[in-house]
Structure 1
Amino acid sequence: MIPTSRQTLPDADAVKTVAMTASQYRYLADHAEPATPAQQRLAQHTRELGAVAEMRIPHEQATFLTLLTRITGARRIVEVGTFTGYSTLAFALGLPADGTVLTCDTSREWTTIARGAWQEAGVADRIHLALGPAADTLRALPERQEIDMAFLDADKPGYETYWDLLVPRLRPGGLLLADNVLYGGHAADPEANGNAAAIRRFNTRVRSDLRMESVMLPIADGMTLARKRLPADQP
């Protein structure tokens, strides 16, 4: 029998995202494109840093970034938050030979590790590292709409500022990605504080920006994918 109304259907809003066990996660990770030797060595080097290694994106997320770069044909990417360069490397691997990634960070120690990995992977010529406050770097960019893709993975209270600086510089149809938008699940709590509260405010800001259309994906710690509307798409 075919149901004739929503009331007779199973709950259409039921949670379908899998709450993964360790073995299920390994199964998922095993079905991503395998890490290159340079990625393997960079991951190991980052693990050796200790607790801060949690800031590195997981490999399946990096694979998604590489694939998205190729799918969109992106040539100019801006990244806020380099750390040891795993996400930067993922973008660079997806770029054509004349593409560029501008990546912003304040740590010379961590980005020295990144530089070595980029050189080993043969993509260092596609990457420009800007050391210093990211907001200053972004303000200095031309106001012309020429960025194809941007990625936020830095200090959480700064996300709104970075968003406001990047959206005008995105080309119509360009993408802006933001990492850690679930913040371990704490961003969903109306009583969130600290970084989780900053992420919660950012998520509200994203949904209220009529220049963009967006979706929040349960990749790693949550990632928002937002597209700048074309003039014909404006509400």
Structure 2
Amino acid sequence: MKSVPLTPGLYDYVVAQAEPPTPVQEKLIARTHALGGPAEMQIPHEQGVLLTLLAKLTGARRIVEVGTFTGYSTLALAEGLVPGGQVLTCDISTDWTAIAQQAWEDAGVRDRIELRIAPALDTLRALPAEPLIDLVFLDADKPGYRAYWDELVPRVRPGGLLLADNVLYGGAAADADAQGNGLAIREFNTHVRADDRVESVLLPIADGLTVARKR
């Protein structure tokens, strides 16, 4: 096996190879951590750097995100947009997204982001067929992933990307006896692998990230 165990020291080294957080990002990280337990839902900084890079590599003009939380991933995606681009982000919490909106304002990207507070599936089903989406990021309720995926794949342009977070779910995705969210992710991963509309790979970054390209 050509892999390296990720010790705390090695992880620190990996993080040090990414662009450092901006002052706005540092403030958002601190404010999110102050929430206590829910803070675990925030993506790590190095994953945010990857989101920005992927948005830039795809020349993304239209991004759809399912799951905003306190807006760290939204901010990262907005930073990678081409001029005039837009991120549509979906959530149901006004408390957590209030934190997000302040961070977006501080970063000067608020005008690039449209926040919709509503059940995400309703928002996705109401999306028009055009313009096509360049990049998708799923990071919301795990049982909903498959339904979100199936609504979004037809709306993504050929060559566009679909990203799904937490696809290892702490290792539970590899457990044949997984239950709850772990089982939902395991079934979602099987669905993605069987989907001939895309080509995909699961990367062991953070809690697992699926990267899929629309054929």
TM-score range for the pair, normalised by the shorter chain length: over 0.9
Which has the higher mean CA deviation after the structures are superposed, 91-100 or 127-136? 91-100
1:43 to 13, 16, 29: 29
**1: CA distance, partners of 2:105 / 2:115:** 13
Structure exhibiting the larger radius of gyration computed from Cα positions: 1
**2: CA distance, partners of 1:19 / 1:185:** 14
Paired residues of 1:145 and 1:172 also in contact (CA < 8 A): no
Paired residues of 1:170 and 1:228 also in contact (CA < 8 A): yes
1:192 to 166, 171, 178: 178
2:49 to 52, 63, 73: 63
Instruction: Give the corresponding residue for 2:208.
Output: 222
Matched, 1:162 2:148: yes
Return the offset for 1:22: 1.2
**2: CA distance, partners of 1:141 / 1:90:** 23
**2: CA distance, partners of 1:79 / 1:211:** 20
Instruction: Give the corresponding residue for 1:133.
Output: 119
Which has the higher mean CA deviation after the structures are superposed, 189-198 or 141-150? 141-150
Matched, 1:173 2:159: yes
**1: CA distance, partners of 2:170 / 2:3:** 15
Q: What secondary structure does 1:23 align onto? A: helix
Identity of aligned residues (%): 66
Q: What secondary structure does 2:21 align onto? A: coil
Paired residues of 1:103 and 1:130 also in contact (CA < 8 A): yes
Give ranges in structure 1 of 5+ residues lacking alignment.
1-13, 230-235
- In the superposition, the TM-score normalised over structure 2's length comes to 0.98
**1: CA distance, partners of 2:127 / 2:205:** 30
Deviations, residues 133-182 of structure 1 (Å, cap 9, x unaligned): 00000000012361000000000000000000000100111110000000
Deviations, residues 53-96 of structure 1 (Å, cap 9, x unaligned): 00000000000000111111111000000000000000011112
**2: CA distance, partners of 1:18 / 1:224:** 20
Letter in 2 for 1:60: E
Q: What secondary structure does 1:144 align onto? A: coil
Instruction: Give the corresponding residue for 1:6.
Output: none
Return the offset for 1:45: 0.3
Deviations, residues 27-68 of structure 1 (Å, cap 9, x unaligned): 111110011111010000000000110000000000000011
Q: What secondary structure does 2:89 align onto? A: strand
Instruction: Give the corresponding residue for 1:5.
Output: none
**1: CA distance, partners of 2:33 / 2:83:** 30
Instruction: Give the corresponding residue for 1:28.
Output: 14
1:112 to 82, 98, 102: 98
2:199 to 199, 204, 213: 213
Q: What secondary structure does 1:98 align onto? A: coil
Q: What CA RMSD, in Å, does the superposition of the two structures yield over aligned residues?
A: 0.8
- In the superposition, the TM-score normalised over structure 1's length comes to 0.90
> Aligned pair count?
215
Letter in 2 for 1:198: A
Instruction: Give the corresponding residue for 2:75.
Output: 89
Instruction: Give the corresponding residue for 1:202.
Output: 188
